[in-house]
């Protein structure tokens, strides 16, 4: 008789991004080793009858222990953030190692590792935020970091202390194309926002609601269009993060229809919240301030359409938790204007339950799409597939067992992050992950955590296929080859 497996999950309905099937899953040394109708014995067994057995979620956009350019630190550290993620069915996070101007990216990466290693309970990789593309950063640090497994970086088109110019963006896109990395873009037109903010300020209109006025939909649409043009000029693939507006969604769809490698992400706040939430009593609206802001119900419908028709490949939380006090959202108490409110909402734990309940249960997306949007596509886009993001022989045994009928009313007190509030207070959802497994270890089971601090591991990312250029140079650049034997960039 052969040695029993470490863990066997029996009788569940297994779903991947492609299939739904009934089978047992056997796990040994942290990996899936057998998928079959009736697997042999396990030292530990879980009966998943009536449950959905899904790949653990991957959240590829979250801010953890990140300091904003204004010096405000996110409410969660790597422990509370990853515990919260685990309770919501997520087994891998990809937060940012964020460079502020003047900093060495290499040192920034070391600092984030030092923060994550002793605390994370699930596996993690890092994207880089590049705010200072100096010669040193472009010429040495980034190429070396890409080789070391940091193959994606985010650039901002707005925020005074983070934004890069179009010229700098071209440098970054050219480097990504050459070195095998993937660029994520925060697309909002800086000058439109700045100009509107100044005009609103002159009229004394500083309440949180006016954040949604200043960050106009057209500002997102314009910057998205410009970013795509910059990428097209250089034949450089890209991903637009946290897309909220119908205008931006339409521009992305058009680019995809033209065959460009343009990918896109959206987030729970853009299907669950509207600008009316920013207009709540007193300073309450500050809890809902994020950039870009939530739009209106027609905007929500456009985002759902984009999730259903494949315009969006990934659904991420953009978890950016700030406490509702002077240490976070409200540096000047109830005198804080929208310009001073720390931007971002918490959402690591509620991301997948929201997509399941509002998407799958309400018939807007299929179960396979849920798996793709919540896990598989993140792994594919950021170079972690097939180790992460699927249920397959040889993959890490990162699994979430869902009770598809469980009704849950969301309250801040049931969640495990440190934000102290949830934008979804009182919302009722159907479906919740009840058992969560990371590399074969049961880390959450029926409301109990059993993961050790620091048991999460760092993941190096490969160059994703998505980052590979298409070989579709714009004609005038393609013809340069006739005049020079050296590439133009
Ligand atoms: O408002 C947001 N989304 N804050 C987090 C930072 C970012 O731009 O993603
Ligand atoms: Zn952003
Ligand atoms: Zn973000």
Nearest-CA residue for atom 4 of ligand 1: 344
How remote is the CA of residue 156 from the centroid of ligand 2, in Å?
Answer: 7
How remote is the CA of residue 30 from the centroid of ligand 1, in Å?
Answer: 34
Q: What is the pLDDT of residue 108?
A: 97
Burial status of residue 475 (CB atoms within 10 A of its CB: 0-12, 13-18, 19 or more): exposed
Torsion of CA 226, 231, 237, 241, to 10 degrees: -20
> Which residues have CB less than 5 Å away from ligand 3 (the ion)?
318
Q: What is the pLDDT of residue 447?
A: 96
Nearest-CA residue for atom 5 of ligand 1: 344
Domains, the chain: 56-387+460-467 (3.20.20.140)
pLDDT per residue rounded down to tens, the chain (489 residues): 578 999 999 999 999 999 999 999 999 999 999 999 999 999 999 999 999 999 999 999 999 999 887 789 999 999 999 999 999 999 999 999 999 999 999 999 999 999 999 999 999 999 999 999 999 999 999 999 999 999 999 999 999 999 999 999 999 999 999 999 999 999 999 999 999 999 999 999 999 999 999 999 999 999 999 999 999 999 999 999 999 999 999 999 999 999 999 999 999 999 999 999 999 999 999 999 999 999 999 999 999 999 999 999 999 999 999 999 999 999 999 999 999 999 999 999 999 999 999 999 999 999 999 999 999 999 999 999 999 999 999 999 999 999 999 999 999 999 999 999 999 999 999 999 999 999 999 999 999 999 999 999 999 999 998 989 998 889 899 899 889 888 899
Nearest atom, ligand 1, residue 186 CA: 8
How remote is the CA of residue 290 from the centroid of ligand 1, in Å?
Answer: 6
Do the strands 5-15 and 52-55 form a parallel or antiparallel pair, or are they unpaired?
A: parallel
Is 25:12 a contact under the CB 8 Å cutoff?
Answer: yes
**Among 208, 343, 345, which residue has the most ligand 1 atoms within 8 Å of its CB, making it the best to mutate?**
343
Token output for 473 = 């140079």
The pTM assigned to this predicted structure is: 0.98
Nearest atom, ligand 1, residue 241 CA: 9
Is 262:256 a contact under the CB 8 Å cutoff?
Answer: yes
Nearest atom, ligand 1, residue 290 CA: 1
> Which residues have CB less than 5 Å away from ligand 2 (the ion)?
186
Residue 204: phi, psi to the nearest 5? Answer: 75, 25
Q: Cα–Cα distances in Å, from 140 out to 125, 128, 146, 428? A: 21, 15, 10, 50
Nearest atom, ligand 1, residue 291 CA: 1
Q: At what angle do helices 246-257 and 297-309 cross, to 10 degrees?
A: 20
How remote is the CA of residue 199 from the centroid of ligand 3, in Å?
Answer: 26
- In the numeric block, the tokens 């801040």 are attached to 412
Sequence-distant (6+) residues with CB within 8 A of 355 are: 268, 315, 365, 370, 373, 374
Which residues sit with their C-beta closer than 6 Å to ligand 1? 63, 186, 242, 290-291, 318, 320, 343-344
Nearest atom, ligand 1, residue 156 CA: 8
């Amino acid at each position: 008789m052969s040695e029993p497996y470490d863990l066997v999950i029996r009788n569940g309905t297994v779903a991947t991004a492609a299939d739904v099937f009934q089978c047992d899953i056997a796990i040994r040394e942290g990996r899936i080793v057998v998928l079959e109708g009736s697997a042999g014995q396990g030292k530990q067994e879980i009966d998943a009858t009536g449950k959905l057995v899904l790949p653990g979620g991957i959240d590829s956009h979250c801010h953890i222990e990140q300091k904003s350019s204004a010096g405000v630190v996110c409410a969660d550290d790597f422990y509370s953030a990853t515990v919260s993620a685990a309770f919501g069915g997520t087994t891998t996070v990809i937060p940012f190692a964020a460079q502020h101007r003047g900093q060495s990216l290499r040192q920034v990466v070391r600092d984030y590792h030092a923060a994550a290693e002793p605390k994370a309970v699930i596996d993690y990789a890092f994207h880089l935020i590049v705010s200072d593309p100096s010669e040193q950063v472009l010429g040495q640090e980034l190429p070396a970091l890409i080789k070391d497994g940091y193959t994606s970086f985010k650039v901002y088109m707005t925020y005074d202390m983070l934004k890069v110019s179009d010229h700098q963006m071209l440098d970054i896109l050219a480097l990504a194309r050459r070195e095998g990395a993937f660029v994520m873009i925060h697309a909002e037109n800086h000058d439109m926002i700045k100009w509107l903010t100044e005009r609103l300020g002159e009229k004394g209109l500083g309440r949180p609601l006016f954040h949604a006025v200043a960050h106009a939909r057209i500002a997102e649409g314009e910057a998205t269009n410009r970013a795509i043009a910059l990428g097209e000029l250089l034949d450089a693939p890209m991903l637009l993060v946290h897309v909220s507006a119908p205008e931006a969604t339409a521009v992305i769809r058009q680019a995809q229809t033209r065959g460009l490698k343009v990918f896109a992400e959206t987030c729970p706040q853009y299907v669950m919240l509207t600008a009316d939430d920013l207009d709540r009593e007193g300073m309450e609206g500050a809890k809902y301030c994020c950039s870009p802001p939530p739009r209106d119900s027609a905007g929500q419908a456009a985002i759902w359409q984009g999730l259903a028709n494949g315009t969006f490949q990934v659904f991420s939380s953009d978890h950016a938790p700030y406490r509702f006090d002077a240490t976070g959202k409200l540096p000047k108490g109830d005198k804080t204007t929208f310009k001073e409110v720390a931007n971002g909402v918490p959402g690591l734990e509620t991301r997948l339950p929201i997509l399941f309940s509002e998407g799958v249960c309400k018939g807007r997306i299929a179960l396979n799409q849920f798996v793709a949007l919540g896990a598989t596509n993140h792994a594919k886009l950021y170079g972690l597939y097939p180790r992460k993001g699927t249920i397959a022989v040889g993959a890490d045994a990162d699994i979430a067992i869902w009770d598809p009928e469980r009704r849950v009313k969301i309250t801040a007190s049931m969640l495990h992050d440190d934000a102290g509030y949830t934008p979804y207070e009182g919302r009722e959802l159907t479906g919740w992950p009840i058992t969560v497994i990371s590399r074969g270890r049961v880390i959450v089971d029926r409301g109990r955590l059993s993961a050790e601090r620091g048991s999460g591991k760092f993941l190096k990312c490969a160059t994703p296929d998505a980052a590979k250029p298409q070989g579709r140079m714009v004609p005038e650049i393609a013809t340069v080859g006739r005049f020079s034997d050296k590439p133009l960039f």
